[in-house]
Chain A
């Protein structure tokens, strides 16, 4: 993206809106040692009057230890009528800090480094704590995420975002609940509510065992914008092939 076009994008979308993409997903603190996965994520978002924004990624992940999962993926995006094009490489590292159920809240930590194709955006660093607890058949997740661009052409600030999820564990192949995502603005000085990108909506989840150490895992959500700067509708989907 050249500099004038980047300036136009920044003017059209508040900085906080650039934080998250429609293909974002809720991080979970647990790590499965030795698990390999091919991970596909996709999403599309639209605000009335604006071009549709879509994103997708494909990645390979590996549970390197009982406490560390690492994944690298290639991200794509499109806006309006333009086709999908390569956007960035991303390296995700997740650390499980506590054993599930050992304490009232399970904890993990996420560190993501994104290397965009457009060098004017610099590199992005996302990090933050991942929290999970259970209430009977309900699983509750809440994550706090900090994001900052480095070596970007435009002045940067550290942004604060969040994710949450409530899941009712009905049966392995089908679970349901709600998810929410949002970006609040600068970590220590939030944007006014109408400039935040808060969105939430119903979600479904499941895992289908394929035998021989293989499984398909999915989750999808339809998110509604609950603040003015958020897209009116976002559909997001994630499928993982575990082997």
Chain B
């Protein structure tokens, strides 16, 4: 019984360890890189670091994600698994400049 519980307890850790990580940086109200290629069919862990002195909101209807990144802070998003395709995202607080796309392939 304890062995089964132990295996169940390990499942989330294994899942986390398997998620490939990608980085996005917000600088001068722009995303870097503005185009991010990720593997299709896999859940990914997206680390977003905001190097600006103002907050930004990562928003993507295509990815169904909305997350505020405070000034000079870092947040983590989990995305996918995605079908192959383009998934645009934007910074809602500075939409004129903060634009990007995730390309799953």
**Interface residues, chain A, with chain B CB atoms under 8 Å away:** 30, 32-35, 63, 66, 99-103, 134, 136, 139, 169, 171-172, 209, 211, 213, 215
Contact = CB atoms under 8 A, between A and B. Distances in A.
A100 B77 contact: yes
A43 B61 CA distance: 28
A66 B55 CA distance: 13
Nearest to B93: A213
B80 interface: yes
A72 B15 CA distance: 38
The 10 A-B residue pairs with the shortest CB-CB distance in the complex, in nearest-first order: A101-B78, A33-B68, A172-B61, A102-B78, A34-B68, A213-B93, A99-B78, A101-B79, A32-B68, A32-B66
B51 interface: no
Given A32-B57, A213-B92, 15 more contacts: A30-B66, A32-B67, A33-B68, A34-B68, A34-B70, A99-B77, A99-B78, A100-B64, A100-B65, A100-B78, A101-B43, A101-B77, A101-B80, A134-B64, A213-B57
Interface residues of B, number: 23
A171 B64 CA distance: 11
B92 to A, nearest CB: 7
> Per DSSP, are chain A's interface residues mostly helix, strand or loop, or mixed?
loop
A33 B76 CA distance: 14
Interface of B: 12, 15-16, 43, 55, 57, 61, 64-68, 70, 75-80, 83, 92-93, 95
A118 B23 CA distance: 54
19 contacts: A30-B66, A32-B66, A32-B68, A34-B55, A34-B68, A34-B70, A35-B68, A66-B68, A99-B77, A100-B65, A100-B67, A100-B77, A100-B78, A101-B77, A101-B79, A139-B64, A169-B64, A172-B61, A213-B93
Contacts of A171: 61
A217 to B, nearest CB: 11
